[in-house]
Amino acid sequence: MAKNVVEKIDDQVKIKTVLVSVSDKSGLEAFIPGLVEVNPQILILSTGGTYGKIKQILGQKADACLKQVSDYTGQPETQGGLVKTLDFKIYLGLLTETYNDAHKEDLKRTDALAIDMVVVNLYPFSETIAREGVSLEEARGNIDIGGPTMIRASAKNFIRVASVVEPSSYPLILAKLKAGKGTLSLEDRFELAQKAFEHTAIYDRTIADYLAAKSVNNIKSSYKSGE
Q: Which domains does the chain have, with CATH numbers?
A: 13-222 (3.40.50.1380)
Please give the pLDDT value at position 77: 66
Amino acid letter for position 79: Q
pLDDT tens sequence across 16-31: 999 999 999 999 999 9
Q: Answer whether residue 1 shows pLDDT above 50.
A: no
In this prediction, residue 38 has a pLDDT band, given cuts at 50, 70 and 90, of very high
- What is the rounded distance in angstroms from the CA atom of residue 78 to the CA atom of residue 21? 16
Plot region of 146 (φ>0 → left; ψ -120 to 50 → alpha; else → beta) = alpha
In this prediction, residue 226 has a pLDDT band, given cuts at 50, 70 and 90, of low
Q: Name the residue with higher pLDDT: 86 or 202.
A: 202
User: Per-residue pLDDT averaged across 159-170, rounded?
Assistant: 96
In this prediction, residue 91 has a pLDDT band, given cuts at 50, 70 and 90, of confident
